[in-house]
Structure 1
Amino acid sequence: MKKTLLAAALFAGLAGAAQAETSVTLYGILDTGYGYSQIKYDRNDIRVRSTSSGLASGVVSGNRWGVRGSEDLGDGLRAIFTLEAGFDIGSGGNSSKSGALFHRQSWVGLASDHWGSFTMGRQYNMGNGFTYGSANVGVSMGDMDRTFGGQGSSNRMDNAFKYVTPSFSGFQAGVAYGNPNTSILSVDTPAGGANITERSNRLSAGLKYASGPIDVSLSYDRESNALENATTNWAIAGSYDFEVVKLHLAYGQDRYGKLGWANVASGLFTADTRPAIGSYSLGHDFKSSNYYVGLSAPVGTGVLAVSWGRSASNLDDADKWGEDAKTQNIYHLNYKYPLSKRTSLYAYGSYGTGVGYVDGAKAKELGLGLNHRF
């Protein structure tokens, strides 16, 4: 009997030690409500209107579930990982267009409080955690990534190596390199031989300073392939907390396309509701200048936020769209009311003109919803 109790105590002690060294957490976000949206085109005696309403999914945060873990390797070194899947709460189906299970994030790496973190896999670019995190206060159509190409919650990199430094007196930097795959096809014929190389890659870098009420970030992204000019984006963003109100600002430029936006026109919006810019997305000297202004302030027990996103392109040049192009402006308002630390109600509304840089294209939306985190 004593031996049995001793063995049980020993086993419990070992299990406790293992739990202290290794942790795995299940987490997720459930976000849904009612939404109404309308897109219309009215120009040159052509009138087109599309209206939709009903259950809206993933407005404030994309619906997801995932597991993240950490193992203590000693001397301040840890093994870390994240596997994160997205889903449509209305149908219960996978929200990935490719059908991938962990399409939101899937990476593993090492981290240390002294030298930072190094991770490998599908993960966010540097703009998402730096410039986007500094400036964005909008949701849905009012989100910052509807104006900026290289920033936003949708900007992820496949097959990426990523290094982020620890914070030094408020300063932090990071760099990521994705799609480092090169394929070479060798062809030998009686007339001679040739090597066909196909190479594509994605580079992302960022710098951030955060101290007290100040948060300032800079990011740069470059995506290249063998067929077209490389798409580039840079942005500088920041916020300052005046205690009563918080100011958010961002400015940046795109060249040869907008990262995260579709390359082929499919109406005013693409399937994932981002404006398309047609055949000028890559390789046609496309350029845009982007601006974002936001204000957020506590109202009652919740937070009220307003924002304005503006993107001016060179599509109005005579050799491009000419008079059919227009600067895009999106005006946005939202309010988030916390019911607890994990659950909140929200309301939002947006109005856009020159949507997708198309003259005569306007859009509006509004909705109410519930966001729960576990």
Structure 2
Amino acid sequence: MKHYRNYRGILASTLLGSVGLTAHAQSNVTLYGIVDAGILYTSKSVNPATGQNAGHQLSLVTGGLTPSLFGLKGTEDLGGGMKAIFTLESGIDTTNGGLTDSNGNLFGRQAWVGIAGNFGTVKAGVQLSPFVLSLIATDPRSASYFGSGVPIYTGSVFVTGAFNSNSISYVSPTIAGLQGSALLALGGVAGNFQAGRQYSASLNYTYGPLLISAAMYSGNAGGTASTTPIPSTVAFSGRTIGGSYQFDRIIVKAVFVNYKIAGSFDNRVYGGGLSYQVTPDTNIDTGVWYTSDGNDTNNHSILAATGVIYSLSKATLLYGQFGYVDNHGKMNTGVSTNGALFGASGSTFGTAVGIRHLF
């Protein structure tokens, strides 16, 4: 009997290995990634224990412009215009080699599988919400991790809505310039459907150089995703509408966002700016964001930033960014997602210079 069990184990391993090899041979799998490291300076910093100004700082940060990450993505042609797709993506901290810019798990940024065809795209797993994708598309500085809507978002609700666990989504095909998407994230707690439940939807309209995007988000606390190292089920509701228009080498963007947490803040964010492709190798962008707490308008801030990107090649670029934030009342808007997520009261100046490589 012992030998028979060993034979069954060997046979099962062989069969499973054959299935894996066959699937791999039929799939198109791509390894991709971003490595970004920068030097950050801010004239003020926040003492985490007291919330008071701890003085200026100079530090090496990961993701000064965009997050550092690596991932695998693949497709398989299923015939009839259909294909199977998947993505596994992990955040990297270039300062220490650890995990960051995700929910703290190995593939905490994205881990989903789906099917795409003429009917649209269906995905299941950890993925970005339509709300976050709308914000990325309409951010005046293309969702830079320094001086943009990203530190405002992350400082308000951490990564909730950015990396949605237990989620199922659908994206429609584009019809007459309109494309809709919807996402439902299940909390994963037996007997309590509301714990950790999140849903989001968006509607985009594209007409030549014009894009208009509107989206909403609603999420509850709790659920199995609440145990991740970085809070990803903060209870909040979000609404946004924004747009962009391209004039030759200039892209103009404007956006309104509302982040509301019951019993806490009701932040309304108004943003606008532009990007100018000066030469094929050089891009300059600038943006301004005004945030006001609807529950108490004494709490408000203004964030302004500009940046220059110089491409050394198609894969490697150098960047320099400069930002200014002025906080009033209890508002604590920071200038950078990494290294200066929360800001001190009053005026703070910051700058980040670095290098980014794509592979």
Does TM, normalized by the shorter one, top 0.5?
Answer: yes
Q: Does 2:358 align with 1:362?
A: no
Which one has the largest radius of gyration?
A: 1
User: Relative to 1, partners in 2 of residues 1:226 and 1:72: Cα closer, same or farther, differing over 3 Å?
Assistant: closer
Taking the aligned partners of 1:372 and 1:229, their CA distance within structure 2 comes to 33
| Equivalent residue runs for 1:238-317 within 5 Å | 238-256=243-261, 283-284=262-263, 286-300=265-279, 301-316=281-296
User: Relative to 1, partners in 2 of residues 1:249 and 1:150: Cα closer, same or farther, differing over 3 Å?
Assistant: farther
Identity %: 26
Q: Does 2:145 align with 1:132?
A: no
Matched residue of 1:130: which SS?
A: helix
User: Relative to 1, partners in 2 of residues 1:229 and 1:102: Cα closer, same or farther, differing over 3 Å?
Assistant: closer
Q: Does 2:177 align with 1:170?
A: yes
| Equivalent residue runs for 1:109-188 within 5 Å | 109-112=114-117, 114-137=118-141, 139-148=144-153, 155-184=162-191
Deviation of the 1:99 alpha carbon:
4.5
Taking the aligned partners of 1:97 and 1:296, their CA distance within structure 2 comes to 27
Matched residue of 1:335: which SS?
A: strand
- Structure 1 unpaired stretches of 5+: 1-16, 185-195, 257-282, 318-324
Q: Does 2:338 align with 1:339?
A: no
Give, as a single letter, the amino acid of the residue that structure 2 aligns with 1:71.
E
Deviation of the 1:131 alpha carbon:
3.4
CA-atom RMSD, angstroms? 3.1
Deviation of the 1:225 alpha carbon:
3.9
- Structure 2 unpaired stretches of 5+: 1-21, 224-232, 333-343
Aligned residues of 1:220 and 1:234 also touching (Cα < 8 A): yes
| Equivalent residue runs for 1:59-78 within 5 Å | 59-78=64-83
User: Relative to 1, partners in 2 of residues 1:246 and 1:22: Cα closer, same or farther, differing over 3 Å?
Assistant: same
Q: Which residue of 2 aligns with 1:211?
A: 207
TM-score, length basis structure 1? 0.74
- For residues 143-199 of structure 1, give each alpha carbon's deviation from its aligned partner in whole angstroms, at most 9, with x where no partner exists: 213335589997121110011112223211100011342333xxxxxxxxxxx8862
TM-score, length basis structure 2? 0.77
Which structure shows the higher strand fraction? 1
Deviation of the 1:286 alpha carbon:
2.8
- For residues 78-131 of structure 1, give each alpha carbon's deviation from its aligned partner in whole angstroms, at most 9, with x where no partner exists: 11100011111121122268642101110111111x111100111001022223
- For residues 264-289 of structure 1, give each alpha carbon's deviation from its aligned partner in whole angstroms, at most 9, with x where no partner exists: xxxxxxxxxxxxxxxxxxx3163121
Deviation of the 1:52 alpha carbon:
2.0
Q: Which residue of 2 aligns with 1:199?
A: 195
Q: Which residue of 1 aligns with 2:12?
A: none
2:326 pairs with one of 340, 344, 353: 353
Deviation of the 1:230 alpha carbon:
5.3
Taking the aligned partners of 1:182 and 1:215, their CA distance within structure 2 comes to 39
User: Relative to 1, partners in 2 of residues 1:40 and 1:18: Cα closer, same or farther, differing over 3 Å?
Assistant: closer
